[in-house]
Amino acid sequence: MTRYRVFALAALLVGFLLAYFVWVTQADPTSSYRFKLGLDLAGGTELVYNADMSQTPESEHADALSALQGVIERRVNLFGVAEPLVQTERAGTLSGITQDRLIVDLPGVTDIKAAVAALGETPTLEFKLVTTVNVGTTTATAYVPTGLDGRYLSSATLGFGSGATAGLSAPQVILNFDSEGAKLFEKITSEHVGETLAIFLDGQPISAPTIQEAIPGGQATITGQFTAVEARDLVRNLNFGALPVPITLESSSAVGPTLGAAAISAGVIAGIVGFAIVALFMIAWYRLPGLIAALALAEYLVFMLAVVKVIPITLTASGIAGLIITVGMAVDANVLIFERTKEELREGKNPREAVHIGFSRAWPAIRDGHLTMLISGVILFWLGTSIVQGFALVFVLGVLTSFISAVSLSRVFLLATVPEHREGVWRFLMGSGARNP
């Protein structure tokens, strides 16, 4: 019994420290551990972009859109916008044309112009072969897409080569492709020796070198007519993210924080009221075990809030709903344990023996119930939209935490409290409902 009391005191101390951490970090406006709120709670700006896939083969649309999403996410993060959410969407129109969109949520940014400026202009990098086409008596020059573009770029660096003016070095931009891009670049240069491979940035040619030989290794050099400052800026922008396809801003909207504040207030009130009702019911029906369950539930909530802060998880209205739902699930596990314990007490077992047996008998049901809920939560997160994913993430973490709370904390607290024999006041405390077993 002494061992369980030590564990119980340690658990109470940890719970107190976690509660102190949650309170202090939230009270400090400069703390990096304050709750991160989503667009629906904190307000902010939503930008919707159209992705131009006209020059991208249909079979590569999904990959291009995924690459575009990654580039924009890196770009927004580099500009310091807190907790952005970048989503892709493929929507059909009435004319039967599929439109690819990029939806960028920027919580806390309510100035649309500032949001657009934060996203900035990211360059579209393309490599095209230059060919001569004879049309009747007229000779025209065309650019032929090669499929090699910014999605295959892994990094860009600034270098200096021999310039036209003696004593000076011309700035160069050295491009390094990923493994797939390196293979494609080598294939293009090996099959088109002697031809011109023009490099386009945002639709404008910046360099048009002639392919002298196959170039392995995945490295290309841009020797356009630009100054050192321009080359440096180009390297910076390319490292921020060269867009695999062009994008245009379709719409923008600002979400005010008023509705978000109302949602937070409603969620907090719902959580407090729900916790109070559940705790009162458990204490009224299960007495001492119910009080212990309420204590374990309080530690569960504190632990969950600390996890949300530390990871950190961006809280949305759906995430708060997921957290509240898991409170009921944590209580459900305790109900199973207490009912099994009550059955053992009715058969004449002493309190400590009844608690041990009650936990062992309730374990299979608790395990299977939490496992099925985990599977459901993972599927929701895997297949759901961003709103559903916010709910699913908090739900899964809540299921795991409630499992620990019910199986470990409640057991430790009970075994640290109940005596060997059920006599006097202990008969009442270990009873339930309207009678004492």
Q: What tens digit of pLDDT does each residue of 25-42 get?
A: 998 888 888 888 877 777
pLDDT band at 288 (very low <50, low <70, confident <90, very high): confident
Angle at which helix 317-346 crosses helix 288-310, to 10 degrees, equals 150
pLDDT band at 122 (very low <50, low <70, confident <90, very high): low
Q: Going by CATH, does the domain composed of 2-38+256-429 fall within 1.20.1640.10?
A: yes
> What pLDDT is attached to residue 133?
59
Average pLDDT over all residues of the chain: 80
Cβ atoms within 10 Å of 306's Cβ, excluding its own = 18
Tell me the chain's radius of gyration from C-alpha atoms: 31
pLDDT band at 187 (very low <50, low <70, confident <90, very high): very high
Determine the 3-state secondary structure of 215 from DSSP: coil
Correct CATH for 125-245 of 1.10.10.10, 3.40.640.10, 3.40.1710.10, 3.30.1360.200: 3.30.1360.200
Question: What phi and psi, each to the nearest 5 degrees, are found at residue 342?
Answer: -60, -40
What residues contact 75, with CB distance under 8 A and at least 6 apart? 119, 120, 122, 240, 241
pLDDT at 342 over 60: yes
Q: CATH 3.30.70: which residues of the chain?
A: 43-121+249-255
> What pLDDT is attached to residue 167?
43
> What pLDDT is attached to residue 166?
39
* Alpha-carbon dihedral 324, 327, 329, 330, rounded to 10 degrees: 160
Question: Whole-angstrom distance between the N-terminal and C-terminal Cα of the chain?
Answer: 23
215 vs 329 pLDDT, higher one = 215
- Segment holding 239, helix H or strand E: helix 228-241
* Alpha-carbon dihedral 274, 275, 278, 279, rounded to 10 degrees: -150
pLDDT band at 104 (very low <50, low <70, confident <90, very high): confident
> What pLDDT is attached to residue 165?
43
∠ CA 102-105-107, rounded to 5°: 170
Angle at which helix 61-78 crosses helix 112-119, to 10 degrees, equals 110
132 vs 118 pLDDT, higher one = 132
- Segment holding 373, helix H or strand E: helix 351-383
What percent of the chain is predicted at pLDDT more than 90?
7
Of 13-22, 249-258, 368-377, 428-437, the one with minimum mean pLDDT is 428-437
320, two tokens: 């708060």
pLDDT band at 234 (very low <50, low <70, confident <90, very high): confident
Mean pLDDT of 98-108: 82
Please write the tens of the pLDDT for every residue from 35-81: 888 777 777 888 888 888 887 788 878 888 887 887 787 767 655 66
pLDDT band at 347 (very low <50, low <70, confident <90, very high): confident
Cβ(348)–Cβ(421) below 8 Å: no
Please write the tens of the pLDDT for every residue from 265-285: 887 888 888 888 888 988 888
pLDDT at 16 over 90: yes
> What pLDDT is attached to residue 194?
87
| Omega cis (within 30) before 312 | yes
pLDDT at 139 over 60: no
Q: CATH 3.30.1360.200: which residues of the chain?
A: 125-245
Give one word for 43, left, alpha or beta, with left for phi > 0 and alpha for psi -120 to 50.
left
Q: Going by CATH, does the domain composed of 43-121+249-255 fall within 1.10.1740?
A: no
Q: CATH 1.20.1640.10: which residues of the chain?
A: 2-38+256-429
Q: Quick one: which of 36, 9, 27, 29 has its CA closest to 307?
A: 36
